[in-house]
Amino acid sequence: MHLYGSIGHRSASQGQTGAETLDAARPSLPPVALHAECPAVSMVTTRDDGDTATASDAGAGRRLRVFFLPSFARGHLIPQTDLACLMAAARPGEVEATMVVTPANAALIAPTVARAAAAGHAVRVLRHPFPDVGLGDGVECLATAPAQDAWRVYRAMELVQTSHESLLREHRPDAIVSDVPFWWTTVVAAELGVPRLTFHPVGVFPQLAMNNLFKMRADIIRMSSAPGTVVSVPSLPGKEITIPVSELPSFLVQDDHLSKSWEQIKAFQLAGFGVIVNTFVDLELPYCEEFSRVDARRAYFVGPLAQPSCSTVHRGGDSDVDCLSWLSTKPSRSVVFVCFGSWAHFSATQSRELALGLEASNQPFLWVVRSDASQWAPEGWEQRVAGRGMVVRGWAPQVAVLGHPSVGAFLTHCGWNSVLEAASAGVPVLTWPLVFEQFINERLVTGVAAFGARVWEGGTRGERAGEAETAVPAVAIARAVAGFMERGAQRDGVEASARDLAGRARAAVGENGSSWRDIHRLIDDLVQARASGLPEERPIKA
């Protein structure tokens, strides 16, 4: 999902500023079993004077206070919360992590903050108002906004600048970790004399590809008028990567807000202290090495932040837990999990083709559809597939589902979180990218890491109107799903690759693994920066 910049400039009133609440995000939740490997967090209690008290106040002044500023999308909010919890758990008593979020987004992460309160790790929530952009009460992220109002969420990401700057100057944290579109935090951090790190929920492979393609943007625009034009990604290590112009992100093909702000965003990223990426080195070699060389002063590869061993059915919102019980009635590795993220909006025509394709595949499936989806299946379809298929409306516990032994394949839009979670769980992937960098992620899945295959090879794909086929037909979906689940050389190959990646992901986050080391290196670097002052910063070139 792209959140590098706003996609709209329509009028919206300025958001409120100055009103904030420190709280412990303590909902009434059923007990959740904890795994020993899971990052744990503590509750903090709110005093009458607005200060917070943790499980132990001893030495609280010596804690490294890190503020985390996620953008307004679950795919960014959830992994950044995982990161905050992980840093607090890595050094209990040394790190205090604060999530700076709006009220409705605070509710989404409350279960994650609450689930390991007894561990005594210092994680807290600092709430600020969501900017007034004409959305309904409680609509504060892309997952809950109607498709036609997505631009309002992007507009809110611009208007929140004033609130962010005010809160950071008031609370003066020791370090700031902020999402990509909040480039202005680099300026505030420099003013406060503290490190600012960019958090990337998207892997380094797509980032490098987009960076390098942006340098040849003029050539891409010139070639875009010729149907079927394919470009090779320049200066990318490893095997050659080619992609049709129709599958490139729109900012590379036409002028928009992101095309105008891309260089500015990258300049502020490079001027900052460093970059944190939700990936692990073994998934993206040699791209991590190249990224460290060209795109960050310091690079920390800390993923996968969501491991199946520490999943919770309430991570990221209220989930349908019945689907896990349903999965337990199915044979091992037999179910196709179908989910296109929290933001995708399929047309009614495409949804019906997908429904018919899943029916015709004759494979067990678990399909997640948006809660606001309508006319998504033909009449009588649910009755015909009853028992073999299950539909979840709204939010599903994806990490828990992918970790279930009955899941044998994942039909996905190739959002980075989904790619990473599938690799971590060792689940082979069927790719159906929809927007932005997802077509680039697909190349990593199918061509580089080789733990997946495309759903459809038969038509033009892309995110821009008029360039893509109107719908992927049911017969193609049925053929791809059934073929992917059959035993054979292709299936054996992707399963072997998926199992290998799962083992490497576990090793990365285990003690002395690459991601484990980078988390501790990150904390050490921030502690040293606080003690000795920031090293000379690169000049910011807006």
- Is residue 399's pLDDT more than 80? yes
Spans of all domains in the chain:
315-505
State residue 465's pLDDT score: 65
The tokens describing 481, both together, are 């799903």
Radius of gyration of the chain (CA): 22
- H-helix segments, 300-415: 322-327, 348-361, 381-385, 398-402
- Is residue 240's pLDDT more than 90? yes
As a whole number, the mean pLDDT across the chain is 83
Mean pLDDT of 266-284: 95
Let me know: does 365 contact 336? Beta carbons within 8 Å: yes
Q: Is the peptide bond before 304 cis (omega within 30 degrees of 0)?
A: yes
Element of type H or E holding 248: none
State residue 61's pLDDT score: 54
State residue 43's pLDDT score: 32
Hey, what CATH topology would domain 315-505 get? Answer: Rossmann fold (3.40.50)
Mean pLDDT of 102-120: 81
pTM (2 d.p.):
0.86
Mean pLDDT of 84-88: 92
Identify the band that residue 372 occupies on the pLDDT scale cut at 50, 70 and 90: low
**Percentage of the chain surpassing pLDDT 90?**
61
- Is residue 20's pLDDT more than 60? no
Highest mean pLDDT range out of 30-39, 248-257, 346-355, 436-445?
A: 436-445
Mean pLDDT of 365-388: 85
- Is residue 365's pLDDT more than 50? yes
Point out the residues that are catalytic.
76, 179
Four-residue CA torsion sign, 263, 264, 267, 272:
negative
Let me know: does 438 contact 346? Beta carbons within 8 Å: no
Q: Write the DSSP assignment of 185-203 as a string of letters.
A: HHHHHHHHT--EEEEESS-
Identify the band that residue 317 occupies on the pLDDT scale cut at 50, 70 and 90: low
Which distant-in-sequence residues (6+ apart) come within 8 Å of 75 by Cβ?
Answer: 1, 201, 341, 342, 343, 415, 416, 417
Residue 420 or residue 343, greater confidence: 420
Identify the band that residue 315 occupies on the pLDDT scale cut at 50, 70 and 90: low
**Percentage of the chain surpassing pLDDT 70?**
81
State residue 440's pLDDT score: 96
Identify the band that residue 539 occupies on the pLDDT scale cut at 50, 70 and 90: low
- Rounded to whole angstroms, the Cα distance separating 354 from 478 reads 8
**SS3 sequence of 395-446:** CCCHHHHHCCCCEEEEEECCCHHHHHHHHHHCCCEEECCCCCCHHHHHHHHH
pLDDT tens by residue, 41-73: 333 332 223 333 333 333 345 899 999 999 998
Provide the pairing of β-strand 64-69 with 21-23.
unpaired
The tokens describing 321, both together, are 């837990």
Let me know: does 253 contact 224? Beta carbons within 8 Å: yes
Identify the band that residue 255 occupies on the pLDDT scale cut at 50, 70 and 90: confident
- Is residue 9's pLDDT more than 70? no
C-beta neighbour count of 308 within 10 angstroms: 21
Identify the band that residue 32 occupies on the pLDDT scale cut at 50, 70 and 90: very low
Tabulate helix, strand, coil % of the chain (nearest 5): 40, 15, 45
pLDDT tens by residue, 463-516: 776 666 668 899 999 999 999 999 888 889 999 999 999 999 999 999 999 999
Which distant-in-sequence residues (6+ apart) come within 8 Å of 372 by Cβ?
Answer: 146
